[in-house]
Amino acid sequence: MANQNVPQATAERLPLYYRTLQRLVAIGKTRISSSEFGGIVQIDSTTIRKDFSYFGALGRKGYGYDTQHLMEFLKKILYQDELSKVILIGVGHLGTALLNHNFQKNNNTKIVKAYDVDPLKIGTEISGTSVHSMDELETDDNREITAAILTVPAAHAQKAADLAIASGIHGFLNFSPTRLVLPQDAYVRHVDMTVELQALIYFLNHAMEERKS
């Protein structure tokens, strides 16, 4: 059972650990040390051991970690043993790409419906997912929906989030380049590709300058 005092940084690394363990189990790897695991995920072994220590004794000294057991444990911690239904708001280029992909490599997450304002898209299906009008969002009952993916222009992101909250949604994955103002019981993860790319360029150039000096 998850410790409620798990730091955010640790929680953010858990999906990486889980995905890596899935690959290791698939190729027949039955046990692994923290140092070997750290080399694969590119995280130092001390951090890995500390991350896992928040959940009790997951490994054994001199043995390491049982990959199958650890994968199954993280599967429960990350709620990957049940289907997570999500909706998509904004069926532009990015939204359409997400619908076409629709978590094909993850059978536990699925975009079940999408919303848009374009009358040419409303009423259609993209890779089996129906596109609804934004006018329906506020009155729809989305209390069983885990989260909403926002791929709308920045100017419309807050309004879209407000409508989603009114329909019963409390989690957001926000691709719109703007920060949202949400109630205290709502959660958001911002995915700003421009910021990430700028950070990457900074680190690359900084590393090049250090090598030259």
Domain boundaries, the chain: 8-77, 84-194
More confident position, 56 or 92? 92
Q: What is the pLDDT of residue 209?
A: 78
On whether the 8-77 domain is CATH 1.10.10.10, my answer is: yes
Report the distance separating Cα 10 and Cα 24, nearest Å. 21
Residue pair 171/145 in contact (Cβ under 8 Å)? The answer is: no
Q: What is the pLDDT of residue 59?
A: 81
Q: What is the pLDDT of residue 102?
A: 84
Report the distance separating Cα 200 and Cα 34, nearest Å. 27
Q: Tokens in use for 98? A: 């997400």
Per-residue confidence band for 89, with pLDDT thresholds at 50, 70 and 90: very high
The annotated binding site for NAD(+) is made up of 90-95
Q: What is the pLDDT of residue 61?
A: 80
Report the distance separating Cα 106 and Cα 102, nearest Å. 9
Q: Provide the mean pLDDT of the chain.
A: 89
The annotated binding site is made up of 90-95
Per-residue confidence band for 98, with pLDDT thresholds at 50, 70 and 90: very high
Which CATH topology does 84-194 take? Rossmann fold (3.40.50)
Is pTM beyond 0.85 here?
no
Strand order in the sheet with 109-116: 125-126, 129-133, 109-116, 84-89, 147-150, 171-174, 187-190
